[in-house]
Amino acid sequence: MQEEMMSEKVSRLKKSKSRDRNIAAFYDYWQSMRHGTDVPRRSEIDPRGIETLLANAFIAEKIAPGLARMRIAGTHLSDLLGMEVRGMPISAFMTPAHRDELAGLLVDVFERPAMLQIELVSPGHMGKPALTGTLVMLPLRSDLGDISRALGCLITKGPIGRTPRRFEIAAHKITPLDLSPVSGLMQTAGIAQPAGMAEEARPFNGTAPLTGSERPYLRLVK
């Protein structure tokens, strides 16, 4: 019995470390796509750069101050709500009491701009085991040049259980970005960019999601 408990603790620790590494890699990829101090363009985001989180990833579009909808979303997000999430607002994942707080944080993401990380909790109920999660949103420029897109991921820990699952905000971290140009910054020309996550493209199949057995892919909003 004691050996089983120890084995379970080791398994949870390994999963936690793996999740932390994947989130760190997600940040690193976004940082690698920046042009100096500026944020990346949405068209430059390549699914191959976030393969380990494809099922958890999404592209969000700002549609009003404090409101953003998912244009492309990985399969895990649909699993959490038990329905297709394309075109739905990010606030659909929050309980009503926490949607105003999320709206304020989304204003920071697009207007300051800023990187956002939210720690989430979904209390257990009948048929719904307690669930925790991490939501990351990183600002992007649209093809028009305005900061109205975001690259995001939502990773959860624990069985989903009965859907839909909605979350409360347990903690958050906002990291403002300084977009001031760096003096003497050299622009490199002639380097081919990888194909972006074009919204007209077919779904991109990646590696297995962090939870569940379904092959991940990003779905397109028509």
Rounded Cα distance between 109 and 93, Å, is: 17
The pLDDT of residue 173: 98
Give tens-digit pLDDT for 75-103.
999 999 999 999 999 999 999 999 999 99
The pLDDT of residue 188: 34
The pLDDT of residue 219: 52
Q: Is the pLDDT of residue 74 over 80?
A: yes
The pLDDT of residue 18: 84
Element (H, E) at 170: strand 168-176
Rounded Cα distance between 184 and 181, Å, is: 9
CATH of 10-177+200-220, one of 3.30.450.20, 1.10.10.10, 3.90.1150.10, 3.20.20.140: 3.30.450.20
Q: Where is mean pLDDT largest: 29-38, 61-70, 182-191, 200-209? A: 61-70
Averaged pLDDT score across all residues of the chain: 83
Give tens-digit pLDDT for 127-170.
899 999 999 999 999 999 999 999 999 999 999 999 999 999 99
Eight-class DSSP state of 50: G
The three-class DSSP label of residue 60 is: strand
Strands of 54-158 (E only): list them: 57-64, 67-74, 114-122, 131-140, 149-157
- Are 61 and 88 contacting, i.e. CB atoms less than 8 angstroms apart? no
Rounded Cα distance between 87 and 92, Å, is: 11
Q: Which of 105, 112, 75 is nearest to 90 (CA)?
A: 105
Q: Which of 25, 65, 36, 64 is nearest to 151 (CA)?
A: 25
Q: Is the pLDDT of residue 199 over 60?
A: no
| Alpha-carbon torsion angle 79, 80, 82, 88, nearest 10 | -100
pTM, full prediction: 0.78
- Are 166 and 145 contacting, i.e. CB atoms less than 8 angstroms apart? no
Alpha-helix residue ranges (DSSP H) falling in 40-196: 75-81, 99-111
- The CB-side HSE value for 198 (13 A sphere, CA atoms) comes to 5
Rounded Cα distance between 168 and 149, Å, is: 23
- Are 78 and 84 contacting, i.e. CB atoms less than 8 angstroms apart? yes
The pLDDT of residue 209: 46
